[in-house]
Amino acid sequence: MNIVKPTIVVFGVTGTVGSEILRLLNLENCFVRGVLRSPKRKVPISLSSENNTISYISVDLTSKEEIKRACFNVDAIFLLTGTSPNQVVFETNIVEVAQLLNIKRIVKLSAPIVPENIYVEVSDWHRKIEQTIASTGIDHCFLQPHSFMQNWERNTFTIKYFGKIYGVMEDAKRNYVDARDVAEVAVKYLLQTETLNGESVIISGPEAISHETMAQRISHVTGKKIIYENITRDEFLNKLTKQAKLPGWLARHIVEIDVLAVKKEEPNTDTINTLLKRKPRIMDTYLQESRDLFSRKSWRFL
């Protein structure tokens, strides 16, 4: 994009990755338009004289007319609508509007490729959206991060109140990457002057970690003994749906990615160093920064 000051629209702007992308783009020579699913949502960066390249727009993603308003005079799109059964419909609508408006670039936050003999429903959703983007001729790339460190915040209740981590991952290890590193990679590709050529960008963190090791590390930062309890798939699904009250698709996804880690070895080295020319954030740092999320006020810290 040979444009001095491009306009970039960020979908998923209130999420962990999207809000960080907004923050980073605010430091660059561009205009940023953040898309909100509801006008009542709190914006990640308040509008002010210091943030005068940012604007927001509320959009119903079932309406292509509203999506057109969000994407008017836009040069590039960061595509993430939040994982849900509606994701294929929502993101397909956005891609079709982008093609209609001749938008030059799409950077989609996606998911790693899963072997054909392993089923992960959410990965199937991403593959369908990727195929749609590839068919448009729009310059694009797919960011395919491994598990986010921040996803551990789903486990805060059982860690805080029962001192336990539940799962079906056995002694397998999962690769974790900090969402802030993923956001920085996204900004790199949104602003890159060279064409993206449909690249699939694997984003991995510095190490693969088992649930048992995570229990030890969380024990260290909270000062309370945390244990990992490996249970059956049915037991895990029941805890997620009946006790944690998660929707069925999300509960299935959490089980499926545990099973994926067991069946397919995950990388134990990062790609951040190559992509960003610096070392990646590490899990221990994330846990130190976030330890209050895993702790009850009565606990003593080490």
- Provide the 3-class DSSP secondary structure of residue 53: coil
How far apart CA 180 and CA 21 sit, in angstroms, is: 8
pLDDT of res. 38: 85
What the chain holds in terms of domains, given with CATH numbers, is: 7-147+176-203 (3.40.50.720), 153-157+164-172+206-266+281-294 (3.90.25.10)
Give the span between the Cα atoms of 267 and 174, in whole angstroms.
Answer: 8
Q: Is the pTM of this model over 0.85?
A: yes
Give the ranges where the chain is alpha helix by DSSP (H): 16-25, 64-71, 87-100, 121-134, 156-162, 179-191, 211-222, 233-238, 248-263, 272-276, 283-289
Q: Specify the pLDDT at position 298.
A: 44
Tokens of 17: 């990755």
Q: At what angle do helices 121-134 and 87-100 cross, to 10 degrees?
A: 10
In the chain, which residues have pLDDT < 70? Answer: 1-4, 297-302
Q: Which residues contact 95 (CB under 8 A, 6 or more apart)?
A: 79, 106, 129, 132, 133, 136, 138
The structure tokens listed for 142 are: 């797919």
* CA-closest candidate to residue 144, choices 189, 102, 99: 189
pLDDT of residue 139: 98
Instruction: Scan for tokens 């846990």, then name that residue.
Output: 287
What the block records as the tokens of 216 is: 């030890």
Look at residue 23 and give its three-state secondary structure.
helix
Residue with tokens 């960061």: 78
Tokens of 29: 């020579």
pLDDT recorded at residue 5: 87
